[in-house]
Each structure stands twice: as C-alpha cells, then as structure tokens.
C-alpha cells in the first residue's frame, strides 16, 4: 500500500527529531493520538495536535499516561492506526497496558524520547536508560519490537517502519529516541506519498459465525487476522490467557500455547524485522556496537582510532529488540573485541555479552546520561579493547 497523501508533507524540511517523528506518524497513516505532555517528547504531541484536524485524525490529550496508552489500544480496535509519545516516567506508567497490547495483539506505536533517570532524573537532558525496560518492563513473558533512530531523518523513516511492523505483527512497537535525537535539527526529506510504503493490518472478511479472533494458520507469520469493533463479528478480547475464540481459559496448556505464539511470531520473523548498519566489519579487530545519539559520537572516536592505525568497525543497532543475535554471533567468531557505547551504565551490553558468550572480549563505554560521551573517552576504551 502507498501512503495516504493527506498526511504526507512532501519536500525537504529542516526539522528536529520530535517533529520528524510526528511527520512519520502522519505519513504512516496514524489517525488517532492520545498523549500526555512530558519533556522531551511533548513536541511530537504538539505537532500532531496542530496537523491532525486537516488530515482527518483525532488528537486527545488525556489525564495521564495510564489513560493515554489505554485510549491508544481502544483507538486501534476502533480501526485507527494509533500512537502515543512519552518519556521515562510516563513510559513506566504505560508498562501495564503495553502488556495488554502484547497479550491482545493490538497494533500501536509508543514513542519514548529518553531522558536521564531514574525517577524524574534529567527531564531536559539525554539518556538511553530505558532500553531494558523496553524489553522487560511489562510483567510476564513476551517479545516486543523496539527501534532506535539516530537522526531526525530516521525519526521520520523509522516511525513509518514502526507502524508497518506493528500492523504486520500486531504488537506494540516502541520507538526509542533520546533527547539529543529528539531535539537536534537537521534536513529531513519527506518523499511523495506514492513512494512511501505502508502496511495495513490484515482484516478478517470471512463468514460472521466462523470468525475465531486468535486463530492462526501458517500463512500469515503466525499472526491472526484482526477485526474492528463495529465490523459485525461481535468478538471478545481479553488480557486473560485465552484460546482461539478469545475466551479466557485458565490452564497450563492454553497458557503455553498462547504465550509461545506471542513469542514465536516475533522470534521466527527476525530476518524480516531486524535492521542494523555495519561499517568496516570485515577486517576489524574491534567492533563498536552502539545506537541512537551514541552512534554519532562513536563515529568520531572510530575515526580517531582508525587514524591511529587500528582496525575498528561499527555495528549500529537500528532494531534494539529483537536483538540481532545471529549477526553478532557471526561477527564474534572473527573479531578480538566489542565495545558497547550507550548512554547508561550498562544495559544493551548485557544482551551483547549473552550473544557473544565469551567468544570475544566485551568492553562497555558507560555514561550516566545528561550529556553525550566524550569521543576521546570512547577512544581510550577502544584502544584497551584492541590490546
């Protein structure tokens, strides 16, 4: 499908990441937005509020983030592509209903413009400290998709992809921006609508009495066909463990089936979901793994290291979750060491270590947040890793 031209502001713009993200949502076909103001994400909501009236969308400012995410789930079942935007404290409040979204297989997008934490932390300054929360923040076993843009252009492009993945796999997709990327202004090129690929959820259109809301065959990536409220199927949706009918069933067998399918539909489609960027990996002794704003600071450190004769490659996570395990394992066979650069005191580095499983050294370039790394600090760690 091509994008609805009403939402697409074709042209070259000078935008910050937050505004670019809003434009990405509009281009992707987002027509319901519920949110609550929180620094440094508010500009996304503001732009949506100003743009929606003339593109047929409904914006509502809710009373809190608990309400925002609940309304987004409702909006999605009402038939609209739906999104909310927040930052750390609001993200914490949304966790329970992100789980409801996972369990009920509700397509939606949640953007987190990350700031320094814990708690109120650093409202106006950057962090990348919610990366593990993105993966594990809601209770129970599940898989989720989280993507990490590193520029305003990617805030636009990846927000569209977030919607597409969410529609395709019927799962909340998290866009894990950071304050720097959200507030940095760069050129953003928005292509004509007919060049923007959008994916719309697959809807059931069979006989009314035969609809099983959670039935899957193997043709659709283990993703069931959706129906919207008002379509006439009169279906049931619950956060309880449920069978194909969507009816609650409280036993270990149905639990096993229900939860493992939620996990499989992501884990068995990683080749379709995962994206990353590589640079000079082939002959590298050391590979820097990084994402978001940290990847841009790391590039400077990598250049300095190369000038000093070191063979350093870059592996940039575009998809943080599911983690690109397969590719990291291949690289681990050939290199001496990995350096993880992230704006926290160690989060994605644990997943990296798990995948590498001792096959190569792993070093962390930590930072508590509030600013970005100094490239020379990263350089020092690269040099140690190269020894």
Q: In the complex, which residues of this chain contact another protein (CB under 8 A)?
A: 31-32, 34, 53-54, 56, 58, 60, 62-64, 66-68, 70-80, 82, 96-97, 100, 228-240, 245, 247-248
The nearer residue to another protein, 234 or 268, going by C-beta atoms, is 234
The nearer residue to another protein, 50 or 330, going by C-beta atoms, is 50
The nearer residue to another protein, 89 or 191, going by C-beta atoms, is 89
Q: At closest approach, how far in Å is the CB of 108 from another protein?
A: 10
The nearer residue to another protein, 96 or 278, going by C-beta atoms, is 96
Long-range contacts of 191-195 (CB under 8 A, 24+ apart): 191/8, 191/10, 192/5, 192/8, 192/10, 193/2, 193/3, 193/4, 193/5, 193/7, 193/8, 193/10, 193/27, 194/2, 194/3, 194/5, 195/2
Q: At closest approach, how far in Å is the CB of 231 from another protein?
A: 8
Q: Which residues contact 49 (CB under 8 A, 6 or more apart)?
A: 33, 59, 61
Q: At closest approach, how far in Å is the CB of 128 from another protein?
A: 28
Rounded Cα distance between 340 and 253, Å, is 40
Q: Which helix (H) or strand (E) holds 52?
A: none
Region for residue 119 given its phi and psi (left: phi exceeds 0; alpha: psi -120 to 50; beta: otherwise) = left
Q: Which residues contact 39 (CB under 8 A, 6 or more apart)?
A: 87, 115, 123, 124
The nearer residue to another protein, 66 or 254, going by C-beta atoms, is 66
State the CB neighbour count (10 A cutoff) for residue 214: 20
Q: At closest approach, how far in Å is the CB of 78 from another protein?
A: 3
The nearer residue to another protein, 208 or 326, going by C-beta atoms, is 208
Q: At closest approach, how far in Å is the CB of 37 from another protein?
A: 15
DSSP secondary structure of 272-325: HH--EEEES-TT-SEEEEE-HHHHHHHHHHHHHHHHTT--EEEEEESEEES--H
Rounded Cα distance between 203 and 201, Å, is 6
Rounded Cα distance between 13 and 239, Å, is 42
The nearer residue to another protein, 192 or 230, going by C-beta atoms, is 230
Q: Residue 22 corresponds to which tokens in the numbers above? A: 């809003």
The nearer residue to another protein, 162 or 227, going by C-beta atoms, is 227
Q: At closest approach, how far in Å is the CB of 143 from another protein?
A: 20
* Contact (Cβ atoms closer than 8 angstroms) between residue 278 and residue 313: yes
Q: At closest approach, how far in Å is the CB of 212 from another protein?
A: 12
Give the CA angle between residues 1, 111, 78 to the nearest 5°: 55
SS3 14: strand
Q: At closest approach, how far in Å is the CB of 72 from another protein?
A: 6
Q: Which helix (H) or strand (E) holds 381?
A: helix 375-386
Q: At closest approach, how far in Å is the CB of 85 from another protein?
A: 15
The nearer residue to another protein, 69 or 360, going by C-beta atoms, is 69
* Contact (Cβ atoms closer than 8 angstroms) between residue 3 and residue 27: yes
Q: At closest approach, how far in Å is the CB of 64 from another protein?
A: 7
Give the CA angle between residues 32, 38, 39 to the nearest 5°: 125
The nearer residue to another protein, 206 or 230, going by C-beta atoms, is 230
């Amino acid at each position: 499908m091509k994008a609805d031209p009403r939402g697409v502001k074709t042209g070259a713009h000078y935008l910050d990441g937050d505004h670019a993200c809003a434009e990405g949502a509009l281009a992707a076909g987002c027509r319901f937005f519920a949110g609550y103001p929180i620094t440094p994400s508010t500009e996304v909501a503001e732009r949506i509020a100003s743009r929606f009236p003339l593109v047929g969308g409904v914006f509502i400012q809710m009373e809190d983030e608990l309400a925002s995410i609940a309304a987004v789930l409702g909006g999605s079942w009402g038939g609209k592509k739906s999104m909310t935007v927040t930052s750390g404290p609001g993200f914490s409040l949304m966790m329970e209903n992100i789980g409801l979204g996972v369990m009920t297989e509700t397509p939606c997008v949640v953007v987190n413009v990350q700031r320094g934490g814990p708690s109120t932390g650093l409202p106006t300054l950057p962090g990348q400290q919610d990366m593990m929360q993105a993966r594990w923040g809601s209770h129970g076993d599940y898989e989720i998709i989280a993507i990490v843009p590193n520029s305003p252009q990617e805030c636009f492009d990846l927000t569209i992809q977030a919607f597409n993945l969410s529609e395709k796999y019927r799962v909340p997709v998290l866009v894990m921006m950071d304050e720097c990327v959200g507030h940095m202004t760069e050129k953003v090129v928005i292509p004509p609508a007919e060049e923007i690929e959008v994916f719309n959820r697959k809807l059931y259109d069979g006989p009314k009495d035969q609809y099983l809301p959670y039935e899957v065959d193997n043709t659709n990536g283990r993703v069931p066909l959706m129906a919207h409220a008002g379509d006439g199927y009169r279906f049931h949706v619950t956060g309880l463990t449920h069978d194909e009918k969507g009816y609650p069933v409280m036993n270990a067998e149905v639990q096993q089936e229900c939860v493992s399918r939620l996990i499989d539909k992501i884990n068995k489609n990683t080749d379709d979901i995962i994206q990353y960027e590589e640079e000079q990996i082939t002959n590298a002794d050391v590979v820097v793994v990084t994402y978001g704003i940290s990847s841009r600071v790391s590039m400077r450190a990598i250049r300095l290291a190369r000038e000093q004769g070191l063979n350093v490659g870059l592996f940039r996570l575009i998809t943080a979750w599911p983690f690109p395990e397969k590719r990291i394992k291949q690289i681990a066979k050939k290199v001496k060491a990995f350096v993880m650069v992230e704006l926290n005191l160690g989060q994605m580095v644990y997943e990296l270590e798990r995948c590498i499983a001792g096959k190569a050294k792993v070093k962390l370039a930590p930072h508590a947040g509030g600013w970005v790394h100094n490239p020379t600090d990263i350089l020092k760690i690269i040099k140690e890793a190269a020894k």
